[in-house]
Chains A and B, each alone.
Chain A
Amino acid sequence: MKLLTANFVQCTVKSCASSKDCFPLHFDQQSAEMPLELAHEDVDFNVEFIANILPRIEWRALITTTRELGNNQLPEEKPDIVNPHAEENLQLLKDLHTLLLETQIVQGSMRCANCGHIYFIRDSIPNFLLPGHLVQ
């Protein structure tokens, strides 16, 4: 699961939808059976995509996620990019590209802060299915 995806998934238990704590899911409690594993994957830089996705990112949630994964590099404020093709913005967009699209969470667990349910990521694929007792 790319780090970007962590910025747009929330808990799927229906009663959590009304709580702000259902998003983002947290990486702060990993299990011994499924230890956290990150990997770098090369992805071609696509300036239109990064420029288009930036407005859709929840910045505070992204900071939470990246800090839980051991990265403290993000600025407190979301960068305001008027011209994505301008020279001065290129490096920032490339850094965001590397962080969001080239950081692969190969294995690990994500926790809902509202209900405590744990979702697993295995072979880079997260599983959002719920057991019978959590389905409404």
Chain B
Amino acid sequence: MRDYVILLAQKHESFRKSELESLAVLFNINVDLSSHSEQSPLLFVTLESEIDAKKLIQRSILARSIYEVWGVASTFADLHKSVKANTHYEWYNYKECSFKFDIISFQHTRTKEEQRDIIESFAYINFEGPIRMKKPDQVFTVIEEYEISKESSERSELKTVCFGRLVADSQRDIIDKYDLKKRKYIGTTSFDAELALISANIGLCDKGKIAYDPFAGTGSFLVAASHFGALALGSDIDGRQIRGKSKNNITTNYAQYSLSSYFLDTFIGDFTHNPIRQNFLIDAIVCDPPYGVREGLKVLGSKNAERYADRLPTLLQNGDMSHLRPDYIPPKKPYHFDALLDDLLFFAALHLTDNGRLCCWMPTANEEYGERNIPQHPDLLLVSNCVQEFSKWSRRLLVYVRRPRKDLSSHHNVTKMTRVYTEQFRDKYFRGFSKLESKAI
């Protein structure tokens, strides 16, 4: 067992712990992440081995790197005492290796001269190997975290300084490859690449698994799931988005990223009339269901309930059945977003493998959010609820784990929750999130 420190990106802070927890589950690593604070880029952990440290960080999008802790303190003087006391016995292991030093300062800047002085203050370790700036054997890093002084907001004070040996970098750099600005086929609903990758990580998408997005659109979550090695299945009610154009579509995106072998299939279909056979199991469902704002939330069916009461096909003047014509567009009707989420949870409970995950994004109007607004299902355990805040509304990544089937004491059939649906998100959005006027009694 050894102490390590994870250096985190100061972005999407509310997702950081969740992503690391998920990676710990994926790699079966026992780690206590409870000291995580959204304000700090440093997270100190204890791990059994360097192998675990590498596994934990290598797929992470929100971590930057992980270091073996050689010393930590709140002053440089104490830091050196800590380094000498803790690591003196292992300095000889690094006597000959090529190395370089790195100084990382959070909420503070150091001049080149100051950085050189800091490096030289470690001269007692007596590295004798060559200094190599590119691909050295070892990177020794000083990480200092400053916080705004309580007395004067213009000053910052040293809170923590840590000295560590770099063990592994994360995959944060991969965000650039998948940036929507560089992607050939995108649409108005294409999901942010960084958050799509984080969602796929939290969904435990991995080699050998099947990931499904029932609202695939232009395939942002499919690509993210496939990046981590899962075979991705996508569907959407909108045939135009699923087909794309002949030169620009989901499969050409896959070719752009050299991921074609991880593309399973896409199909056109209504989620509430899903063709996936009842007993087929899926490892992960990762999606951003349509809120009904930028795109209408529609399902199969006619707005006019009476229209097809006789259950007969519509005949054209010449006697042909209209639905067999190649240009036929099936009728669709609006659907309540909360009903869609309940359908999604029901589907997930039916189709997820034991311990498989549903990761879905849900919008909330800020002033009315409460825990009771989160959809629930007895067969699914909500393990995470991370928020991305905008000015008047937020969206949350809800993560559910399918409870193992044999653990459930009552052998009940998976049932759909029945709820009364009140005002849905899109209506709040279109009235600008202002409070509804109360009627005089």
Q: Tell me which residues across on chain A come within 8 A of B326, comparing CB atoms.
A: 33
Contacting pair A128 B269 (CB below 8 A): yes
The verdict on B308 contacting chain A, using a C-beta distance below 8 Å, is yes
Whole-angstrom distance between the Cβ of A120 and the nearest chain B Cβ: 9
Selected from A43, A49, A127, A133, the residue in CB contact (under 8 A) with B207 is A49
Per the bound structure, the CA–CA distance linking A49 and B210 in Å amounts to 8
Selected from A5, A23, A126, A129, the residue in CB contact (under 8 A) with B270 is A129
Contacting pair B260 A135 (CB below 8 A): no
Nearest-neighbor residue (CB-CB) of B246 within chain A? A123
Known A-B contacts A56-B281, A130-B330, A135-B308; A125 and B266 likewise in contact (beta carbons under 8 Å): yes
Q: Tell me which residues across on chain A come within 8 A of B78, comparing CB atoms.
A: none
Contacting pair B209 A46 (CB below 8 A): no
Contacting pair A129 B330 (CB below 8 A): yes
Per the bound structure, the CA–CA distance linking A12 and B235 in Å amounts to 14
Q: Tell me which residues across on chain B come within 8 A of A56, comparing CB atoms.
A: 280-281
Q: Tell me which residues across on chain A come within 8 A of B265, comparing CB atoms.
A: 1-2, 4-5
Selected from B277, B300, B312, the residue in CB contact (under 8 A) with A8 is B277
Per the bound structure, the CA–CA distance linking A84 and B419 in Å amounts to 46
| Residues of A in contact with B, size category | 35 or more
Known A-B contacts A2-B264, A8-B276, A12-B275; A131 and B323 likewise in contact (beta carbons under 8 Å): yes
Contact residues, A25-60 vs B (CB, 8 A) = 33, 43-44, 46, 48-49, 51-53, 56, 58
Contacting pair A23 B207 (CB below 8 A): no
Selected from B278, B313, B331, the residue in CB contact (under 8 A) with A17 is B278
Known A-B contacts A17-B278, A131-B330, A133-B314; A126 and B300 likewise in contact (beta carbons under 8 Å): no
Contacting pair B231 A10 (CB below 8 A): no
- What is the interface of chain B mostly: helix, strand, loop, or mixed? loop
Whole-angstrom distance between the Cβ of B280 and the nearest chain A Cβ: 4
The verdict on B12 contacting chain A, using a C-beta distance below 8 Å, is no
Contacting pair A135 B207 (CB below 8 A): no
Q: Tell me which residues across on chain A come within 8 A of B209, comparing CB atoms.
A: 49, 52
Selected from A10, A123, A128, the residue in CB contact (under 8 A) with B277 is A10
The verdict on B208 contacting chain A, using a C-beta distance below 8 Å, is yes
Nearest-neighbor residue (CB-CB) of B263 within chain A? A43
Per the bound structure, the CA–CA distance linking A52 and B210 in Å amounts to 9
Contacting pair B300 A130 (CB below 8 A): yes
Contacting pair A132 B314 (CB below 8 A): yes
Q: Tell me which residues across on chain A come within 8 A of B331, comparing CB atoms.
A: 131-132
The verdict on B200 contacting chain A, using a C-beta distance below 8 Å, is no
Selected from A17, A23, A51, A129, the residue in CB contact (under 8 A) with B300 is A129
Contacting pair B208 A128 (CB below 8 A): no
Q: Tell me which residues across on chain B come within 8 A of A130, comparing CB atoms.
A: 270, 273, 300, 330
Contacting pair B277 A9 (CB below 8 A): yes
Contact residues, A42-93 vs B (CB, 8 A) = 43-44, 46, 48-49, 51-53, 56, 58
Known A-B contacts A5-B264, A56-B280; A131 and B207 likewise in contact (beta carbons under 8 Å): no
Q: Tell me which residues across on chain B come within 8 A of A131, comparing CB atoms.
A: 313-314, 322-323, 328, 330-331
Contacting pair B276 A9 (CB below 8 A): yes
Selected from B261, B310, B311, the residue in CB contact (under 8 A) with A44 is B261
Contacting pair A53 B210 (CB below 8 A): yes
Contacting pair A10 B275 (CB below 8 A): yes
Contacting pair B269 A48 (CB below 8 A): no
Per the bound structure, the CA–CA distance linking A130 and B333 in Å amounts to 13
Per the bound structure, the CA–CA distance linking A129 and B243 in Å amounts to 14
The verdict on B296 contacting chain A, using a C-beta distance below 8 Å, is no
Contacting pair A126 B208 (CB below 8 A): no
Contacting pair A23 B264 (CB below 8 A): no
Contacting pair B273 A48 (CB below 8 A): no
Per the bound structure, the CA–CA distance linking A127 and B266 in Å amounts to 10
User: 0/1 per residue, B270-301, Cβ < 8 Å to A?
Assistant: 10011111101100000000000000000011
Known A-B contacts A52-B209, A132-B314, A135-B300; A125 and B268 likewise in contact (beta carbons under 8 Å): yes
Contacting pair B328 A126 (CB below 8 A): no
The verdict on B237 contacting chain A, using a C-beta distance below 8 Å, is yes
Selected from A9, A44, A53, A133, the residue in CB contact (under 8 A) with B275 is A9
Nearest-neighbor residue (CB-CB) of B273 within chain A? A12
Contacting pair B243 A132 (CB below 8 A): no
Q: Tell me which residues across on chain B come within 8 A of A4, comparing CB atoms.
A: 264-265
Nearest-neighbor residue (CB-CB) of B274 within chain A? A12
Nearest-neighbor residue (CB-CB) of B276 within chain A? A8
Contacting pair A49 B231 (CB below 8 A): yes
Per the bound structure, the CA–CA distance linking A11 and B239 in Å amounts to 18
Q: Tell me which residues across on chain B come within 8 A of A10, comparing CB atoms.
A: 275-278
Selected from A13, A128, A134, the residue in CB contact (under 8 A) with B267 is A128
Subset of 19 A-B contacts with CB under 8 Å: A4-B264, A4-B265, A9-B276, A10-B277, A12-B275, A14-B273, A33-B326, A43-B260, A43-B261, A44-B261, A46-B231, A52-B208, A123-B243, A127-B239, A129-B268, A129-B300, A131-B330, A131-B331, A135-B301
Give B residues with C-beta under 8 Å from A. Answer: 207-210, 231, 233, 235, 237, 239, 242-243, 260-261, 264-270, 273-278, 280-281, 300-302, 307-308, 310-314, 322-323, 326, 328, 330-331
Listed from nearest, the 3 A-B pairs whose CB atoms lie closest are A48-B208, A131-B323, A128-B269
11 other A-B residue contacts (CB within 8 Å) besides A5-B267, A49-B207: A4-B265, A8-B280, A10-B276, A14-B273, A43-B260, A43-B261, A48-B208, A51-B208, A128-B273, A131-B328, A132-B301
